[in-house]
Amino acid sequence: MGKIKVMGDTLINKIAAGEVVEKIANVVKELVENSIDAESKNIKIELLESGVKLIRVVDDGIGMSKDDAILCFSRHATSKIKSENDLYFINTLGFRGEALAAISAVSNTVLDTYDSKESTYVRVKAGKIIEEKIGSMRRGTIIEVTELFYNTPARLKFLKSLHTELANSVSFIEKIALSHPDISFELINDEKQVLKTSGSGDLYKTIHEIFGINTTKNMIQINAENYDYVISGYISNLNIAKSSRNNMITLVNGRVVSNTSVIRTIKDAYHRVLADNKYPIVVINIETDPTLIDVNIHPTKQDIKFSKLESLTDLLFNTIRDALNNSDNTFKSYKEVSYNTPIINEEFDEYSINPTINEEVNEERKIEEIRLNFDSPVYDEESVKREQKLIHPVGLALGTFLIAEDEDTMYMFDIHAADERANYEKIVDAINAKQVYTTKMLIPLTLEYSHNEFMNIKENISELNDLGFEIEEFGKNTFRVLSHPTWIKEGFENDSIKKIFELIGEFKGKFDKAKFTDSMAASIACKMSVKANTHISFEEQERIIDNLFKCKFPYTCPHGRPTHIKYPLYELEKMFKRVNFSKENAFDE
């Protein structure tokens, strides 16, 4: 007798469950997506012990007939696709027909649904229907999952802590709510409301309901399109940053996805304006023809393939970079007064609890106030010139921080970061200029390397020649530099040239000129900028301020640290209790 046997349905379903249902958040995801596909406008998710004891999803969708309610627990049973051709025109969140079969195979599942004609109650355990009767006659669907993983103890054992499991579910509901702002979502855990959105259809308001007012006031709206894609949504300015990419939310045709190339492009758009270990908050919806994408590459449908990826990444990068360049990214010296602010799970950088929502009237008023501020132009060339002209230095504090003022604002500059930004942009402009200016070295610089290093540098030596370096081989594994471009600051020639040779020697394979230019400009700008704890003259202080505000992006150094912080007069007066907060607490002055 042969060794190969066909597995039984129970074993097949358990294996399938392992692919689709890895954690509690996967169950929540599949059930909520079914509710969305059922045209629900209000979806309520109730959990007990973060979902370990109970997961209940209640919606007001179109419901199911009796036949569909029974058939939906079968593998590969779906109403979303009917032929192979439909795979290329998927407009629903679910389509594989595996979720309910996988979930019910490892749990006790109850379905109560009503489609306005007939009401059905079905209970399934370990993939087998064990009860069927008339349901509650309530429009929509209620589905309950209990005893999750009771028959797969290994998977139950490897569930995370209750806090982590809840954080994962909250993270998903936040993202799905942002992808469908026209649907009201409510998440309850252990009879306590964790999250609620209004379903207003306003993405900006939904961002406020999830992240709070401080984040909302620091979001920038984006809209752009090309022949293949339309993108819209909001991106954070530099006042808001996270330590993980969990809040970089990308949506494709309403589906929450995470594509490595898209995430990398968004992060690259913040390159040199946000620190490398920090990530923005973004909510970007990408609309495209379904034939240009493939969502059928993973059981959880969380990744996606784009047939014209370069067209999308170019559009994303240019749109985000332009939006950042044309917005006020000045770091504030004070924190905005916030309400409805979530408590953050530091380990996962996720919002885990959302306290009570304020009254609808007050919330609407605050949203409109934010909109008025947001819609006003906050950055243009004339305002920078005006700011540059009015700001004058007052003095240096602790050898590092330059204090300055205009008629109604105090500023604090990091002298190294500010000088570094100005030098960085000067170098980039000089490198990109058509005319190359060079100067001879008084004493040629000799650089000796190992054989491997020498060969790596030699492979791309023509790139250095194009920049204005005159280089010759000088003995074994040695170069001699005879001249260099004039943008290398006098007195910093040797250190700068050594760093440039080191950077070009790090490239393996295909040379990336843009990446090399950017890294070189940032490294050289750092070396040639005034150092912290350096006492500089009043004239030098003026030079730093003037040069900074001539920059295209004066807000951060090339490494993403702020160049200056604003202290508006009103905020200073509040700090020193000079503002009349109320008649009862008014000061006499």
pLDDT by position in tens, the chain (length 589): 555 555 555 555 544 544 557 788 989 998 999 899 889 999 999 999 999 999 999 999 999 888 888 887 776 555 544 444 444 445 555 444 577 888 888 889 999 999 888 999 999 988 788 889 888 888 899 999 998 887 777 667 668 788 889 999 999 999 999 999 999 999 999 999 999 999 999 999 999 999 988 889 899 999 999 999 999 999 999 888 888 888 999 998 888 888 889 999 999 999 888 888 889 999 999 998 888 877 655 555 566 778 888 999 999 999 999 999 888 777 765 544 333 333 333 333 333 333 333 444 455 555 554 444 443 333 444 445 445 558 888 899 888 899 999 888 899 999 999 999 999 999 888 888 878 888 898 888 998 888 888 888 888 888 888 888 898 888 888 999 899 998 888 888 888 888 888 888 877 667 777 888 888 889 889 888 898 888 888 999 999 999 999 998 898 999 888 999 988 888 888 888 887 654 444 444 4
How far is CA 313 from each of CA 229, 286, 537, rounded to the nearest angstrom? 10, 11, 46
pLDDT for res 182: 94
pLDDT confidence of residue 91? 55
- What the chain holds in terms of domains, given with CATH numbers, is 9-159 (3.30.565.10), 218-335 (3.30.230.10), 380-589 (3.30.1370.100)
Per-residue confidence (pLDDT) for residue 4, from 0 to 100: 58
Chain center to CA of 336 = 21
Instruction: Give yes or no for a contact between 35 and 141, defined as CB atoms under 8 angstroms apart.
Output: yes
Report which of 287, 110, 91, 257 is spatially closest to residue 172, judged by C-alpha positions. Answer: 257
CB 558 within 8 A of CB 424: yes
Residue 581's pLDDT is what?
52
pLDDT at 42 (0 to 100): 96
Looking at residue 283, its pLDDT comes to 95
The structure's pTM equals 0.73
Query: What local confidence, expressed as pLDDT, does residue 180 receive?
Result: 94
Residues 6+ apart with CB under 8 A from 195: 170, 173, 174, 177, 185, 186, 187, 210, 354
Return the pLDDT at 9: 59
pLDDT given for residue 84 in this prediction: 45
What was the pLDDT predicted at 223? 95
For position 233, what pLDDT does the model report? Answer: 95
Residue 400 CB-half CA count within 13 A? 6
> What pLDDT was estimated at residue 502?
85
Bridge partners of 564? 413
228's CB contacts (< 8 A; 6+ apart) are: 288, 289, 292, 308, 311, 312
Which pLDDT value is given to residue 350?
Answer: 35
Q: Spell out the residues 6+ positions from residue 321 whose beta carbon is closer than 8 angstroms to its own.
A: 269
Helices marked H in 98-161 — which ranges? Answer: 99-105, 153-157
The C-alpha angle with vertex 211 and arms to 208 and 215, in degrees rounded to 5, equals 80
pLDDT at 13: 55
Nearest alpha-carbon partner for 322 in 430, 427, 224, 249: 224
Can you give the pLDDT at residue 298? 53
Closest CA to 87 of 256, 297, 260, 259: 297
